[in-house]
Chain A
Amino acid sequence: MESEEKHSLINHSYSIYVLVWLALITFTAITVAVAGINFGNATIAIAMIIASIKTYLVLTIFMHLKIENTTFKVFVIIAIFFLAVTFVLLFSDYSNF
């Protein structure tokens, strides 16, 4: 019973994958276009925000996190959180030079 329920959940239609792919390609085009414009220090921030949006799409749809049970989501959030903490701590230390 349970596996059958799971099965129908997993079955995204093909079209959602194609839509996500289109979005990913569009974001790539945007990030390339934006890179040509000089926003000063914001340039790198914009590039990283776009990369994060793309990553979110890959994680949730391609890697099925959206339909995965909560344990997986919590694990991934914690892993990303600690990576972020490492970056923040490093730069809080380093940028004081």
Chain B
Amino acid sequence: MNVEQNVAEHVHRDDEASKLGMWLFLFTELTLFGGLFLMYSVYRYSHQADFHIAAKNMNTFIGTLNTAILLTSSLTMALAINAMQRGSKKLSLSFQAITIFFGFIFLLNKYFEWSHEIHLGNFPGSDVLLSKSQGDILFFGLYYVMTGLHGLHVVIGMIVIAFMMRFTIKNVITRNNYFKLEAAGLYWHLVDIIWIFLFPLFYLIT
């Protein structure tokens, strides 16, 4: 105990500051997505009828399923951190693995969804889409950019969590030093929050 305390005193570490740094990074993400949400709201306001018609193409079932999947992955991520705080390394590792798995399922659904839309010709620059109204074009443009950028964040999140699993196995992340895992969790939850807003805006306009 004494030895451990001495070592801890000599290593410079400030978890609070690190966490604040992570939050500051999340705020930059907020401005990134905030700008897109601003753009969405303006175009939706100016093309209300078109947005309603375009949104009928969206598969509400897949959207709802993906929402549930992402919310559940947030739960498993929170539990992974909680397990680590309690010192159960194996449990934490399992929860991290499950989180990555849910992220994968989310992306798989997204893949089917996008393939379906592309099959219908609803992709930027296609003849089918260009022959539709301005509002349709804007809706699908925003749909691909916003869910695409969100999907990219899911991919990055999965990679980050994979690294956390490695750190956990190598005992870099431990019961007394789990900031890295917590930061990864913050990122994952932010991605979840963004989806919480994307979901009603793209799938539930009828």
Contact = CB atoms under 8 A, between A and B. Distances in A.
Interface of A: 7, 10-12, 14, 17-18, 20-21, 24-25, 28, 31-32, 35-36, 44, 47-48, 50-51, 54-55, 58-59, 61-64, 68-69, 71-72, 75-76, 79-80, 83, 86-87, 90-91, 94-95
Specify the main secondary structure of chain A where it touches its partner: helix
A35 B64 CA distance: 12
A38 B173 CA distance: 50
Chain B, interface size category, equals 35 or more
Specify the main secondary structure of chain B where it touches its partner: helix
Contacts of B34: 83, 86
B78 A17 contact: yes
A14 B42 contact: no
A54 B79 contact: no
Contact of B200 (A18, A50, A63, A69): A50
A50 B72 CA distance: 18
A64 B178 CA distance: 14
Contacts of A14: 79, 82
B86 A11 contact: yes
